[in-house]
């Protein structure tokens, strides 16, 4: 089973965090089409949340066509799931920017830190186009 991490400091509801973690698992290949998911009770116990929280996350993902339920067998990843990597990246960027703002970190400082961390993690610099700030030309 892929790890799901919930952050109690995150302002998003727990069910939304669960949904995002499942989408992330799909994006990175930890979950694939037709893979079974843990039961609502099993995942709720693992995450130490109310089963209704997991049920809400599963329900939202089912309505979005990401998951489906086989009566008596459980919940599974839909056969044709299109992972919107751009949306996923934007969601991560929004959360990161919000956290940076809360901490008093500027966009420039944040981008510099991300590049440094990426270079340390991957052993090579991250090739990004410079970000234009207000008043600067690209």
pLDDT tens column, 41-59: 999 999 999 999 999 999 9
pLDDT tens column, 6-20: 998 888 899 999 999
Residue 72 and residue 93 in one domain: no
Position 137 in a domain: no
Distance CA 23, CA 74 (A): 18
pTM: 0.64
Position 5 in a domain: no
Tokens of 120: 């340390």
Residue 52 and residue 33 in one domain: yes
Residue 18 and residue 37 in one domain: yes
What are the Cα distances from residue 26, in Å, to 30, 33, 38?
6, 9, 15
Which residues make Cβ contacts (< 8 Å) with residue 111, sequence separation at least 6? 128, 131
Give the CB-side neighbour count of residue 80, counting CA atoms within 13 A: 0
């Amino acid at each position: 089973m892929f790890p799901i991490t919930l952050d109690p400091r995150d302002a998003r509801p727990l069910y939304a965090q669960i949904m995002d973690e499942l989408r992330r698992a799909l994006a990175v290949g930890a979950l694939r089409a037709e893979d079974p998911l843990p039961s609502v009770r099993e995942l709720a116990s693992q995450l130490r949340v109310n089963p209704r929280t997991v049920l809400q996350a599963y329900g939202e993902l089912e309505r979005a066509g990401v998951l489906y339920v086989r009566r008596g067998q459980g919940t599974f990843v839909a056969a044709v799931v299109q992972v919107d990597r751009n949306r996923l990246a934007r969601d991560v960027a929004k959360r990161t920017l919000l956290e940076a703002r809360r901490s008093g970190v500027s966009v420039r400082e944040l981008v510099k830190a991300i590049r440094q961390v990426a270079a340390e993690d991957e052993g090579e610099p991250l090739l990004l186009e410079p970000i234009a700030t207000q008043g600067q030309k690209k």
